[in-house]
Amino acid sequence: MKRYDGDVLAVDSLDLEIQSGELVVLVGPSGCGKSTTLRMIAGLEHITDGDLHIGDRRVNDVHPRDRDIAMVFQSYALYPHMTVRENMAFGLVLRKTPRDEIDRRVQEAAQTLGLDDLLARKPRALSGGQRQRVAMGRALVRQPQVFLFDEPLSNLDAKLRGQMRLEIARLHRQLGATMIYVTHDQVEAMTLADRIAILDQGRLQQFGSPMEVYKAPANRFVASFIGTPSMNMIEGALKVEGDAGWFEGDSVRIELPKVELEALRQGLGEQRELTLGVRPSSLSIVNDNGELNGSVEHVERMGAETFAHVSCGSGTVICRFGGDHPVALGDSLSLGLDWAEVHFFDKAGDRLSRGETL
Amino acid sequence: MSDSTFARRAATHLVLILVTMAVLYPLVLVLKIAFGPGQGFSAGLSPIPDTVSLDNFRAVVSETTPDGVWLFGRQLLNSAVIAISTTVVGILLACTAGYAFSRFDFPGRETGLMTFLVSQMFPGVMMMIPLYLILEKLGLLNAPMGLILVYATTSIPFCVWMLKGYFDTIPRELEESAIMDGASRFTIFWRIILPLSAPAVAVTALFCFMTAWNEFVLAFTFMDDPLAFTLPVAVQGYVGEKSIEWGRFAAASVLVSVPVMALFFALQKHLVGGLTAGAVKG
């Protein structure tokens, strides 16, 4: 799928195959083309080039109303002059669904979402969370083949967001419907998705299960986008002397295990520039001769966990400890790497595979 | 309350009271003359009437032609037909045009809007002669249809701008949501956009109605048969070359303003909403 808007390429050669009943999350920073992709699926944006299939049907030129899709908008887009009941029934009324069938479905959806008591209210008399529910109810009553969610939770406060996230997950289990969900929040992506599609600058970066993209990020972008705090990235180069090899960065010199070295030599070819990536949780304190040494610059205590910012050479690495860990400002730490969790990226940002698959 | 804030408040109120009196005084004076017994200013400038009489109203309302046609009734009907038709035609076209200008991208969109705007910059009187010639060719002088055409066409540009401005404030997501719900363009316009624009439509309708109801210069130019007169032209008739019947003039003026005032009151709720439309998104 592609789209040209004037000369701007918003979404470039996106190729996704979504299984029936799957919940796929499109995630990426703002302007990455995720919403545009969703709107193309909905039929609100024209597809410049490429095919969109729903089931066995090519729907590029099918009107949105005939695509059997329902969409939940970021702003909810409830009709302000209609009651909750009318809002939910609108799509069915337009489709000339019989009266009692409409009533039954609205009642059913209202029950599922806990809206029974609010059916006679106008949207302006509802709270944010309730409006959100009505927006979902409006999609629900349509019983569509595919549900589209466009950042549905971004207007809610943190607590409510967590609640609605669970509710959407529950709905998905209950309905077994195909859902495509757009968000910029990687927590939503990780927790909701069967599979995540990570987009950046209109291009698909990786498409895989949450653990796949977390454990085996396809490239540097995915590696730093998924996970909080971000994966530590250390710039450097490969040095080889005889059988031994080092990763050498600015005042960092790390001897590479045999397996790693072999993989890197194969992956890099003549190239030598490298980035080493390691998650804060894959660093641990060792007595001495750890791979990374430095002093603690900053400590963030989150309660259940503690993040220490350790200056190593010209950069800083973040390191995750337990909540009660005694680490303190100014401590000198020697940090060991968990080699199973270390990633290397070449100059282009692609991850150099160690050959072991997950 | 300190002295200085009290003084400031008092001054503010004094100014407001003076302005209000200046605005209301002529109106009160017209009422006094209308309800007075005579035809002159003899009563002086005091706004308080000494005697109240309905003679002037009776005379105005019961005006007939020599061959017995009830003139006032006929002129009232003319005014009503013309004003209501202008409003209906104007609103119908302005809503659809405003919606198109607000939502569709088509060649000539900018030019069209600009043309509408520029057309508002010329005084209406400038159009008098060309309009007269056109109406004469069409045989619509002395016909209500002529005035309806003229009023509708002259008020539509303003109405289009006004409605387009309001439509612009309605989030597009509402329409997209309706599209997903299966609504056609017309359904969206009819069942989503128009109900949401009720305040703006009310203000615009009132504008159309008032333009047509109060307009004098064009009506005076295009109509020379008293049976085709609208009320403002009839009112002016009381200030003739030979005699000036101030009493009846005032009474007729009051009668003409009643429907507009009634409309204002009826639409008050919407008007307030419509005038502040777009200021606050909600």
Measured between beta carbons, which residues in chain B are less than 8 angstroms from residue A75?
A: 171, 173
CB B240 within 8 A of CB B49: no
What pLDDT is attached to residue B282?
Answer: 38
Q: Are residues A44 and A173 in the same domain?
A: yes
pLDDT band for position B145 (cuts 50, 70, 90):
very high
CA of B179 to nearest chain A CA: how many angstroms apart? 6
CB B209 within 8 A of CB B263: yes
Total domain count, chain B: 2
Q: Are residues B49 and B150 in the same domain?
A: no
Query: Under an 8 A CB cutoff, do A77 and B174 touch?
Result: yes
- Express each pLDDT in A6-47 by its tens digit: 455 667 778 888 888 999 999 999 888 888 889 989 999 888
Measured between beta carbons, which residues in chain B are less than 8 angstroms from residue A94?
A: 181-183, 187
| Pairs of residues, one from chain A and one from chain B, whose beta carbons lie less than 8 Å apart | 52
End of a domain among B11, B33, B53? Answer: B53
Give the residue from B180, B186, B197 with the most A CB atoms within 10 Å of its CB, the best one to mutate: B180
Contacts of A194 (CB under 8 A, 6+ apart): A19, A22, A23, A24, A209
Give the residue from B173, B177, B197 with the most A CB atoms within 10 Å of its CB, the best one to mutate: B177
Q: Are residues A172 and A280 in the same domain?
A: no
In angstroms, the CA A272 to CA A347 distance is 9
The count of C-alpha atoms lying within 13 angstroms of the C-alpha of A97, restricted to the half-sphere facing its C-beta, is: 20
Q: Which residues, numbered 11 to 70 in chain A, qualify as contacts with chain B under a Cβ-Cβ cut-off of 8 Å? A: 42-44, 64-65, 69-70
Q: Are residues B175 and B43 in the same domain?
A: no
Strand, helix or coil for residue A299: strand
What pLDDT is attached to residue B151?
Answer: 92
Query: Under an 8 A CB cutoff, do B182 and A77 touch?
Result: no
**Domain contains B99:** yes
Total domain count, chain A: 2
Q: Are residues A345 and A313 in the same domain?
A: yes
In angstroms, the CA B17 to CA B3 distance is 21
Q: Are residues B109 and B200 in the same domain?
A: yes
Q: Are residues B109 and B162 in the same domain?
A: yes
Measured between beta carbons, which residues in chain A are less than 8 angstroms from residue B199?
A: none
CATH code where residue A139 lies: 3.40.50.300
Contacts of A166 (CB under 8 A, 6+ apart): none
What pLDDT is attached to residue B276?
Answer: 55
CB A327 within 8 A of CB A333: yes
By the 10 Å C-beta count (0-12 exposed, 13-18 middle, 19+ buried), B252 is classed as buried
Q: Are residues A77 and A140 in the same domain?
A: yes
- Express each pLDDT in A134-147 by its tens digit: 999 999 999 999 99
Give the residue from A59, A81, A95, A106 with the most B CB atoms within 10 Å of its CB, the best one to mutate: A81
Query: Under an 8 A CB cutoff, do A90 and B171 touch?
Result: no
End of a domain among A224, A253, A269? Answer: A224
- Express each pLDDT in A240-282 by its tens digit: 888 888 898 887 888 888 888 888 888 888 888 889 999 999 9
Q: Are residues B31 and B83 in the same domain?
A: no
Closest residue in chain B to residue A91, using alpha carbons only: B181
For B76, the domain range is 58-277
Q: Are residues A241 and A92 in the same domain?
A: no
**Domain contains B255:** yes
End of a domain among B19, B36, B53? Answer: B53
End of a domain among A194, A224, A254? Answer: A224
CA distances in angstroms from A105 to A66, A73, A112, B42, B180, listed in the order given: 20, 21, 10, 77, 18
Rounded to 5°, the CA angle B81-B83-B87 comes to 115
Q: Are residues A48 and A192 in the same domain?
A: yes
In angstroms, the CA B86 to CA B83 distance is 5
End of a domain among B10, B33, B53? Answer: B53
CA of B181 to nearest chain A CA: how many angstroms apart? 4
Q: Are residues B260 and B160 in the same domain?
A: yes
Measured between beta carbons, which residues in chain B are less than 8 angstroms from residue A138?
A: 177, 181
Q: Are residues A88 and A171 in the same domain?
A: yes
> How is residue A300 written in tokens?
């963030």
In angstroms, the CA A319 to CA A212 distance is 22
- Mean pLDDT, residues B203-219: 90
ipTM of the complex: 0.81
- Express each pLDDT in A190-236 by its tens digit: 999 999 999 998 889 999 999 999 999 999 999 999 988 999 999 99
CATH code where residue A242 lies: 2.40.50.140
Q: Are residues B193 and B141 in the same domain?
A: yes
Q: Are residues B100 and B70 in the same domain?
A: yes
**Domain contains B166:** yes
CB A69 within 8 A of CB A59: no
Give the residue from B105, B181, B188 with the most A CB atoms within 10 Å of its CB, the best one to mutate: B181
**Domain contains B282:** no
Q: Are residues A288 and A209 in the same domain?
A: no
Q: Which residues, numbered 137 to 176 in chain A, qualify as contacts with chain B under a Cβ-Cβ cut-off of 8 Å? A: 138, 142
End of a domain among A161, A195, A224? Answer: A224
What pLDDT is attached to residue A265?
Answer: 84
CA of B261 to nearest chain A CA: how many angstroms apart? 28
Q: Are residues B76 and B12 in the same domain?
A: no
Q: Are residues A242 and A168 in the same domain?
A: no
Q: Are residues B65 and B145 in the same domain?
A: yes
> How is residue B70 written in tokens?
């009830």
Number of H helices, E strands in chain A: 9, 21
Is pLDDT of B278 > 50?
no
pTM over 0.90: no
Q: Are residues A41 and A129 in the same domain?
A: yes
Q: Are residues A270 and A141 in the same domain?
A: no
Q: Are residues A313 and A330 in the same domain?
A: yes
For A37, the domain range is 2-224
A103 phi/psi in degrees, rounded to 5: -55, -45
Query: Under an 8 A CB cutoff, do A77 and B195 touch?
Result: no
Q: Are residues B43 and B99 in the same domain?
A: no
In angstroms, the CA A6 to CA B88 distance is 41
